[in-house]
Amino acid sequence: MKWPVLWPSGLLALLIAALDTHWSPPASVHALTGTAPWSSGRKLAVREQVRDLWHHGYDQYMRLAFPLDELAPLSCTGRGPNWHNPADIATNDVAGNFSVTLVDALDTFVVLNDPPGFEDAVRKVIRWVSFDVNTKPQVFETTIRVLGGLLSGHIFAHKPGQPFHLPWYEGELLQLAYDLGTRLLPAFQTLTGLPYARINLRHGVPKGESVDTCTAGAGSLILEFGALSRLTGDDRFEKAAYKAFFALWNRRSDIGLVGNTINIFTGLWTHPEVNGIGAGIDSFYEYALKWYIMSGEVEFLDVWQDSYASVMRYARAPDGYWYRNVNIYSGDAQYGTVDSLSAFWPGLQVLGGDVENAVKSHLVYWNLWRGFAGLPEVWDMNYRQATSFQYPLRPEFVESTWYLYRATRDPFYLDVGERILSDITRRAKVDCGLTGISDLRTNARDDRMESFVLSETLKYLYLLFDEANPLHADDSHWVFTTEGHILTLDPSLLRPISPARRKFRRVENMQCPAYRPPILAYDPLPPSETSETYAHDWWDYETGLTGGVMWRADWDYARQLIGRVPTENETRWWDPEGWCVLPKHEPYSYDFVLSADGTVVPEDLHPSAEKLVPVADGYLVHNVTGIRVQIVSRLDGKGYDIAKLGPYAVKTGQKIYFNDSQLVLAPIPGKGAQGASTPSQRIPVVELRLYLDHVDPLFQLQELGMQDVITEAIVEAATAMFAGDPAPPSPSSDKPPLRFGHGDGDGVRVVRFPDNPLGCTPFHEKLDGEAVVVARGECTFLEKLVHAQRAGASGVVVLGDEDHHINPSADAQELAAAGPEINDVAIVVLRRADAELVLDMLDAAERHGFGEVKLVVEPWDAVPAEAEQAQPTRTRETKEGDTAREGKQEDVPRMLFLNNHPLINTRLLV
């Protein structure tokens, strides 16, 4: 087996020793130190510690602070609005004199499986809470903390057949929510539909109220307001939140980015016009995705997909691990700071299906936490230092940890959760409750317990260790709001998509790809004598010894990125002969203008029907020249989709058909080291014949029980758009054929190397014109070919993992670096079924010692006419000099291919 070993890249960087504060726990209790396995008993024990900590905070609030809004845990009293200083928005935005902590914590009793506690809390809310108060809280904070808490409490108290149904309950919480929603509605009475940031619950919007609001504040109301409308039948609330949401989205920049703050009267973004994933914008993305999940309203899915693509293209840092604040018009980086609110992003990425990028971004916040035993409010990535050291026990990092554990089931995230629990308990637990930290360096404390500590932070931490929680088994369309409230809609309240829209969007597959843990080692020997199973494992590379997140080859990069000093427990894994991986990622999305021959052409801003027309299931392109397309990475890692085609947005499930004959007539260039173009008509697919060279014709396979042995096979292979052309030259050509597939007339020998199955590292063997078989993945097709060429091979056969043909490409700069020698070798790619067939043949030859497998590139004029009408399939066992096909398979449409990735939603008709 081959084991990857990590090299400490942090040794090559300037490290900030001050990060390991004296508040960090001793090394023996650091996560990842080889602690006991996470048995069911251990998880339950930690879960109960979280429960006890939650009750410590809640019970002290009820004893010392209720019915005031918040607990002051150092002075052991309650906190309400700052009546003496209306300008104290840090307090008054949240404290509206309506017992916010109690209302915010209602559905935490559901998570804790505490029906008696839930009933007691509901009774207290009904008795004590009123919104006829002369206070001016923030619309956003009041919506997410109070309105969301009331709605979630109502859903569980009202729904029969579950433990939290209250037989005596008559909708009082919903009545309170309706009253609150009605008092908030006047804030939306603006020309743009964007709400004022604050409103007096008794008197409405005061004169002189600020006309600036943030995107998150105005655009993160649809979950609560939409649920309120569906539950009451009054559509005013949903309409107001809907209008506000799209008032923001429709003002996005040309590159798809919304700003941070906006003037609610002019509708103009205010200085400095930046976009990011943190404070001021964060939950706008969250509510786009979650309202689609909850309601099925597809336009919100479109916003999520488009906004995510823009963020991943412009805000994501080049290394792919963190996210910058960028100018909304140019995409240029403005600030290099990361705030603690942005720690929600990995969790949202998991919910959106992008687990791989979620793992990366979470590692940055985890290393910050390890450096401070908490998460500082603001961290400067450029200077590797915090600029704001507060930690008010925010939930976002815990939330993302829970999402990642549910997606990966990696015990690493349990280690992270246990560390969070330990740090919060040691730093924030006081006699009268739980206190925020005003300075993580000194552990100076803030005399305030925010309501989200009970409604979110400890709720997510409890769920992390509660494997049997009913929420984990509920696959309905419930969601957590940005305040951690559980909202769902009864099927009777959902609005089905209209027939016209359903016909337009066709069938949409919203399944996310399953998480694949890193493979630590592969066994090159088959696990049994059954080659069929082994063959699939060998080329698909799905089996082997797997590891957790901490075994990733880029694990140490996140630590080095923020400059955290490695602990002794980390350095003991280092090896002077090990290696680490520097981040390298493909662009998530990009735009380009199409042309038939690859030349630069002006954009056609208004393509006519002669070029581009909508069809029943997508779009038909007759002429590609000048049409701008936006390419977006697929979350399943299988390539890209075209998301925008000229003036049209391409929806999930739609196809783009290309019927431009110039695409067929255009030459496929091969470029030398100097970039000189050598146009030639290249056949995109060639036919390969593979046969066992040294089998005696009189040898009787049937007598030996080897009826399944394949002695000869014919498969199709896609050619590359670079390097040598493997097809035989035409009879009129005086150019000799490549050695690949021709040799001395009987083909070339086929070889494979178990210690380098992907061909992504140099081959140690000296070859003499053989064709090397490698699996697809980990490096580019060009890199595979270069390694084989330098070892003396005549070409490469790539075992593909797609059911369609893939024609690899490379840009001029890469080809120049590879050198002109690659024009003497060739690379071809097999489809999945043909790859399995070739592996079966190679396994049989090795297992039974029949001799060598040879490869011949067949001239197309020797192919039967019917082969041109159907894709060839696997061949059966053949007898002497005889080949036979099992039959024709359904034609697999060809698709366009870009930068070594297929455009999955395209179909090539010509």
| Active site (catalytic) residues | 141, 282, 377, 396
**Tokens 């149904």 -> residue:** 165
Query: In angstroms, what CA-CA distances link 22 with 14, 197, 441, 894?
Result: 21, 40, 8, 61
Q: Which residue from 358, 318, 322 is spatially nearest to 339, judged by alpha carbons?
A: 322
Query: In angstroms, what CA-CA distances link 494 with 356, 413, 483, 508, 531?
Result: 32, 35, 23, 18, 51
CA-based Rg of the chain, rounded to a whole angstrom?
31
The C-alpha atoms of residue 786 and residue 782 are separated, in whole angstroms, by 6
Joined together, the tokens standing for residue 386 give: 């915090």
Q: Which residue from 387, 390, 409, 396 is spatially nearest to 365, judged by alpha carbons?
A: 396
Q: Pairing state of beta strands 325-327 and 274-275? A: antiparallel
Length of the chain: 910
- Cβ neighbours of 510 (radius 10 Å): 10
Asked if 176 and 131 touch (Cβ cutoff 8 Å), the reply is yes
Q: Annotate 472-540 with DSSP letters as a single string.
A: HH--SS-EE-TT--EE---GGG--PPPHHHHHHH-----PPPPP-PPEEE---S-SSS-HHHHHHHHHH
- Cβ neighbours of 116 (radius 10 Å): 8
The C-alpha atoms of residue 798 and residue 774 are separated, in whole angstroms, by 5
Q: Which residue from 231, 253, 227, 252 is spatially nearest to 241, judged by alpha carbons?
A: 227
Query: In angstroms, what CA-CA distances link 153 with 116, 124, 145, 173?
Result: 13, 12, 12, 7
Host H or E run for residue 657: strand 655-658
- Which residues are within 8 A (CB) of 876 and not within 5 positions of it... i.e. 6 or more apart? 710, 884, 885, 886
Q: Which residue from 635, 521, 519 is spatially nearest to 586, judged by alpha carbons?
A: 635
Joined together, the tokens standing for residue 108 give: 């935490």
